[in-house]
């Protein structure tokens, strides 16, 4: 644990989910491959698309509709509809395929078990503090068994623009009924989580599992209040104040 600012007690915590409570990278890689297999099974011509073509289609739908930015589920839905149209499907058939594909992806995207360390930390902390989840992703917290630990779960898109924009942090502040300076946000991303939290007036805890110091991190722009490498350190941190 490393402190960058003078520590003061907090009354509530907010948590990022992806890559903070669990390794989301391996989850997404697996779910993406399963989705590609599903799409090829249900629309054989999609097998011809390369990874770069899928990425190009993703960027195209974002460029065509700026309102999609931050809505990861709707970006994927629009991307698949575009792919379907390139495969010769009608608008209605493409929309039906995209809806089914997104449902399949969301199921696979939440098909994993949260590590014991994260569950134990949330269980202990939620017994002492109100907690709110703030995520730019679309994981199903009910399916993962995380919902009971949080007073609210805020997602980019339905609940506001993606972090580091302030909207999700401000909604969390309202849910918690605390001054921003009394709320500690815990997250792995130096831009989305640390910068977003600090600009919203929250304290920021950087979860750093990279084994690389802050000085070499390309997204570093604002100092966190504290850095941890294991979620269990939060229990020591909160007991120490």
**What's the pLDDT tens digit per position in 88-126?**
999 999 999 999 999 999 999 999 999 999 999 999 999
What is the set of active-site residues? 16
Contacts of residue 130, Cβ cutoff 8 Å, sequence gap at least 6: 11, 12, 13, 151, 176, 178
Q: Could you tell me if 37 and 74 are in contact, meaning their C-beta atoms sit under 8 angstroms apart?
A: no
7 three-class SS: coil
CA angle at residue 30 from 26 to 33, to 5 degrees?
140
User: Residue 241: which pLDDT band, with cuts at 50, 70 and 90?
Assistant: very low
User: Is it the case that residue 240 has pLDDT exceeding 70?
Assistant: no
User: Which long-range contacts does 74-78 make (Cβ < 8 Å, 24+ apart)?
Assistant: 74/157, 76/102, 76/105, 77/102
| Averaged pLDDT for residues 4-17 | 94
CB 146 within 8 A of CB 114: yes
Sign of CA dihedral 138, 139, 140, 145: negative
pLDDT score for 117: 96
Q: Where in the chain is the domain with CATH 3.40.50.1000?
A: 2-22+113-239
Across the range 159-164, mean pLDDT stands at: 94
Q: What is the dihedral of CA 193, 106, 21, 181, to 10 degrees?
A: 30
Q: How confident is the model at residue 215 (pLDDT cuts 50, 70, 90)?
A: confident
Residue range 26-109, CATH number: 1.20.120.1600
pTM metric for this prediction: 0.91
Q: Specify the pLDDT at position 58.
A: 96
Q: What is the pLDDT of residue 239?
A: 66
Helix (H, G, I), strand (E, B) or coil at 207: strand
At residue 44 the predicted structure's pLDDT band, cuts being 50, 70 and 90, is very high
> Which is it for strands 226-228 and 203-207: parallel, antiparallel or unpaired?
parallel
pLDDT of residue 19: 97
What does the block give as tokens for 73? 């589920």
Which candidate, 168, 171, 210, 174, places its Cα nearest to that of 189?
A: 210
pLDDT class of 210 with cuts at 50, 70, 90? confident
In angstroms, what CA-CA distances link 114 with 24, 64, 139, 141? 10, 36, 12, 10
User: CA-CA distance, 31 to 139, in Å (whole number)?
Assistant: 12
- CATH 1.20.120.1600 boundaries in the chain: 26-109
Q: Can you tell me the mean pLDDT for 168-193?
A: 97
The superfamily in CATH containing domain 2-22+113-239 is HAD superfamily/HAD-like (3.40.50.1000)
Between the alpha carbon of residue 82 and those of residues 49, 76, 97, 207, the distances in Å are 12, 10, 11, 37
């Amino acid at each position: 644990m490393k402190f960058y600012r003078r520590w003061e007690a907090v009354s509530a915590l907010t948590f990022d989910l992806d890559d903070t409570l669990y390794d989301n990278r391996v989850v997404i890689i697996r779910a993406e491959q399963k989705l590609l297999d599903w799409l090829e099974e249900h629309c054989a011509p999609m097998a011809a698309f390369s990874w770069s073509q899928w990425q190009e289609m993703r960027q195209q739908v974002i460029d065509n509709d700026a309102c999609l930015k931050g809505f990861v589920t709707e970006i994927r839905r629009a991307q698949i509809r575009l792919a379907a149209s390139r495969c010769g499907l009608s608008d209605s058939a493409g929309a039906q395929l995209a809806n089914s594909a997104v449902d399949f992806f969301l199921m696979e995207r939440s098909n994993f078990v949260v590590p014991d360390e994260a569950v134990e930390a949330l269980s202990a902390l939620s017994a002492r503090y109100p907690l709110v989840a703030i995520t730019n992703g679309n994981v199903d917290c009910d399916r993962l068994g995380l919902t009971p630990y949080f007073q609210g779960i805020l997602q980019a898109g339905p609940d506001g623009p993606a972090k580091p924009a302030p909207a999700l942090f401000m909604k969390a502040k309202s849910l918690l009924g605390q001054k921003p300076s009394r709320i500690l946000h815990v997250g792995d991303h130096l831009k989305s989580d640390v910068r977003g939290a600090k600009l919203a007036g929250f304290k920021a805890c950087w979860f750093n599992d990279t084994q690389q110091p802050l000085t070499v991190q390309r997204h570093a722009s604002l100092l966190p209040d504290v850095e941890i490498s294991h979620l269990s350190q939060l229990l020591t941190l909160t007991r120490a104040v």
